[in-house]
Amino acid sequence: MTPVEATDQASPVLVAAKNGIKEMVKKILKKYPVAVMDKDKDNKNIILLAVEFRQVHVYNYMLKKFSTAKSVFRRVDKDENSALHLAAKLSHSRPWSIPGAALQMQWESKWYQYVHSSSSRMNKEIFSRTNKKGKKPEEVFIESHDKLVEKGSGWLTNTSQSCSVVAALVATVAFASASTVPGGVNQESGFPVLSTKPVFQLFAMSSLVALCFSVTSLVMFLSILTSRYEVRDFSWGLPVKLILGLTSLFMSIAFMLVSFCAGDFFVVEKRLKFAVYPIYAVMCFPVTFFAVAQLPLYIDLIKATIMEVPEVTEKMHVD
């Protein structure tokens, strides 16, 4: 089998690479190793197509299989775009299902950084290489993601503003609870009258923890609002702040309810000691509802922040 030159019809291995069918790419290259030299009408080979269409599995396989064949990774297309140039471009084909412009921008930034680090081992000149328009990969990335950064910044701003209002309210209530002593203070010793009861200890600790978490949440959201929203901030800085802010907000609400229930227990301790427990359980419903509603976003944020490279899903988005 001879390598397929640039034609209007792409070879099977190029079609498989474009669509992320790693098994087919693997079998074709195993039977016809020369197919690694195939290129389409735009002079793109397997590496360039895998990078352009964000096919992580195909790209990782090529890195492992052809780590010594550096010429394969040095190929450029008809516009002299390298693999890093294509990774820098905003692709309409997204093999990962990601809701929201901010998360999409985080995945795009991580994909560019992943190709950046892996390509440096194959081609050290890839960073300084310019295309026909005289632009380096970093310049292409900033220009092509300008609108996505704007959309992601708007979403982060709106989310942070809404959450900061809630965090401020919780901080106010938590401060009032922390500065309140149920049952009063013993005039002789200066210690709280109910300090020997376990519920009082629960009230004191929960109100203090609620105050700490609410202030932390407020600081995180304010730091997002005052951020410069640069491209590099979306890959790590902004998502981590959002995760910490949401986590602190959830914990502050939870401990605020615990503090309220502990303080209210002194009032109904003798009359409704056991009947009040179901009421307290119902009060936990708002926290549970908030946690369930935010769980998908929370999981996506953690996965996108921890993972080095975007995770491919079965559902592909094509705009």
Domain ranges of the chain: 12-144, 148-306
What pLDDT is stored for residue 275 in this prediction?
Answer: 67
What pLDDT is stored for residue 72 in this prediction?
Answer: 86
What distances in angstroms separate CA 110 from CA 54, 82, 124, 308, one per listed residue?
11, 18, 19, 7
Cβ–Cβ < 8 Å for 55, 17: yes
In this prediction, the residues of the chain whose per-residue pLDDT falls under 50 are 2, 6-8, 314-319
**Is the domain defined by 12-144 classed in CATH 1.25.40.20?**
yes
What pLDDT is stored for residue 316 in this prediction?
Answer: 43
pTM of the model: 0.82
Structure tokens at 263: 């303080």
What is the average pLDDT score of the chain?
83
3-class SS of residue 278: helix
Q: What is the pLDDT of residues 273-310, one digit of tens each?
A: 666 777 777 777 877 787 788 788 888 888 888 888 87
CB-count burial class (<10 Å; 0-12, 13-18, 19+) for 288: exposed
3-class SS of residue 192: strand
Could you give the CA distance from residue 127 to residue 138 in angstroms, rounded to a whole number? 8
What pLDDT is stored for residue 317 in this prediction?
Answer: 41
* Partner residues linked to 93 by β-bridges: 318
Helices (H), 44-180: 46-52, 56-65, 70-73, 83-88, 101-122, 137-144, 146-178
What pLDDT is stored for residue 22 in this prediction?
Answer: 93
What pLDDT is stored for residue 283 in this prediction?
Answer: 73
Could you give the CA distance from residue 130 to residue 301 in angstroms, rounded to a whole number? 34
Percent of the chain with pLDDT over 90: 45
The DSSP letter of residue 126 is G
What distances in angstroms separate CA 243 from CA 160, 170, 229, 236, 240, one per listed residue?
11, 18, 16, 11, 5
